[in-house]
Amino acid sequence: MTKILIPCETSLGERRVSATPETVKKLNSLGCEIYIEKSAGELSGFNDFSYSESGGILFDKEDQNAWKEADLVFCVQCPEEKNLTNLKPGSFLVGLLNPYGNSDLHNFLIKSKVSAMSLELIPRISRAQSCDALSSQANIAGYKSVLLAANELDSYFPMLMTAAGTVQPAKVVVLGGGVAGLQAVATAKRLGALVFVSDIRPAVKEQVESLGAKFIELPEIEEKPSESGGYAKEVSAKFLEEQRAILTRHLSEADVAICTAQVLGKKAPILIKEEMLDKMRPGSVVVDLAVAQGGNCQNTEPNKTIIRNGVKLIGASELPSSVPFHASSLYAKNLVSLITPFVKDGIMEIKKDDEIIFGCLLSDNGAILQEKVFAKGGTN
Ligand code: NAD
């Protein structure tokens, strides 16, 4: 019978958990045994009792046997080394493992012969949508970024006609119209803002317009941005310069900028430079979701709010974790969707040539399968 271990997350600020009572029930129904470290769900709103009621088996933090016997570890972020070293060769570690340029993980996987699946690498094909953890979490980040901005802004979002006068709606500029960006657009629209979006993938124009936002036209230069596998490819320095020139005007009139632009495995493009910040009005707010990848805005720092000439710069790298109940619920379902096709009568047989598994399998029994990801920090 396949044993699945659910650990307490130990990364700083992490409040999510990789299984919920609902997914424990589902995994049980597939014939698996689920071992849950005590208190694993506490910060996400799931108590130990709810897990044991759903058929989970609780274990103590000190109990290393659970790690030694596990066939599969479902995690959000990579567990601590002291636990990982107890895993047996051939067991699977599955989670958001942050493999880019991660030499510690690379060395551990070779030495331990633990096989690892990194959810960041799940291919963007229709069949993989239900296990796409980047999307489920980016959606939450997009939503929460707008709430953060509204909370910090010195003015209303909606247009209001009051006896004391008319209030104009906030102008929100969203940089990057991917999963997080589109959810930010939808949330800002619901709050009544005027929304403008910049993205380099042509498909985004229609998507933002269908949400009632306006698309900011791209620079008219020869270079045409391209994409591969649903991800934008990096544009040239010249293109970015022209793009920033167009954005400068929009930002000088904006109340809020939400930064979500990313290029897989690369540093995020800098779309707001200091001189552009100089033109933003005091009291306006920039929320940078790309801050962990270097940021779309100069001067933002992870998990910090910096006030620069009256403009609030919020480096928001851990937003999914700030909505831990739903972030965990969706993430846990992503994991169940990933694994379900490979479990029959409680026995797990991962098919390594399956397109989804092949895409996200970092290592197999000590052999590294994605050297490129570890080495140069990207897949493009
Ligand atoms: P992402 O996080 O890699 O990037 C966010 C956005 O930044 C993208 O829209 C990208 O085009 C944009 N960007 C990059 N450079 C930019 C620049 N210089 N200026 C402005 N914007 C820039 O992407 P994501 O949000 O994870 O997903 C992108 C798209 O992939 C989605 O919109 C969706 O259509 C598709 N997708 C498909 C699947 C699937 O089919 N399984 C799953 C997830 C996403």
What is this structure's pTM?
0.94
DSSP 169: P
47 or 317: which leads in pLDDT? 47
Q: What is the mean pLDDT of residues 4-24?
A: 97
Confidence of residue 264 (pLDDT cuts 50, 70, 90): confident
Handedness of CA 218, 221, 224, 225 (dihedral sign): negative
Q: Per the structure block, which two tokens stand in for 90?
A: 């051939």
Taking CA atoms only, the protein residue closest to ligand 1 atom 1 is 262
Which residues surround ligand 1 with Cβ inside 6 Å? 124-126, 128-129, 132, 134-135, 138, 175-181, 198-201, 204, 230-232, 235, 243, 260-264, 269, 271
Average pLDDT of the chain is 95
Question: What are 127-180's pLDDT values in tens digits?
Answer: 999 999 999 999 999 999 999 999 999 999 999 999 999 999 999 999 999 999
Q: What is the mean pLDDT of residues 16-39?
A: 97
Pair 121, 362: CB distance under 8 Å: yes
At residue 276, the pLDDT reads 98
Task: Tell which atom from ligand 1 comes closest to the C-alpha of 227.
Answer: 11
Work out the number of other CB atoms within 10 angstroms of the CB of residue 89. 11
Nearest partner of 146 among 177, 191, 211, judged by Cα: 191
At residue 380, the pLDDT reads 43
pLDDT at 227 over 80: no
Q: What is the mean pLDDT of residues 65-82?
A: 96
Q: What is the Cα–Cα distance from 321 to 16, expressed in whole angstroms?
A: 6
Name the amino acid, one letter, at 50.
Answer: S
Confidence of residue 378 (pLDDT cuts 50, 70, 90): low
Confidence of residue 352 (pLDDT cuts 50, 70, 90): very high
Confidence of residue 370 (pLDDT cuts 50, 70, 90): very high
Of all residues in the chain, what percent carry a pLDDT higher than 90? 90
Q: What is the Cα–Cα distance from 174 to 158, expressed in whole angstroms?
A: 17
Q: Per the structure block, which two tokens stand in for 78?
A: 């990579």
Q: Where are the alpha helices (DSSP H) in the chain?
A: 21-29, 48-53, 65-69, 81-84, 103-112, 133-152, 179-190, 203-210, 237-252, 274-277, 324-339, 355-360, 371-376
Mutational test site, ligand 1, from 136, 175, 262, 273, max ligand atoms within 8 Å of CB: 262
- Residue that the structure tokens 């920039």 belong to: 286
311 or 264: which leads in pLDDT? 311
Confidence of residue 376 (pLDDT cuts 50, 70, 90): low
Helix (H, G, I), strand (E, B) or coil at 192: coil
Work out the number of other CB atoms within 10 angstroms of the CB of residue 341. 15
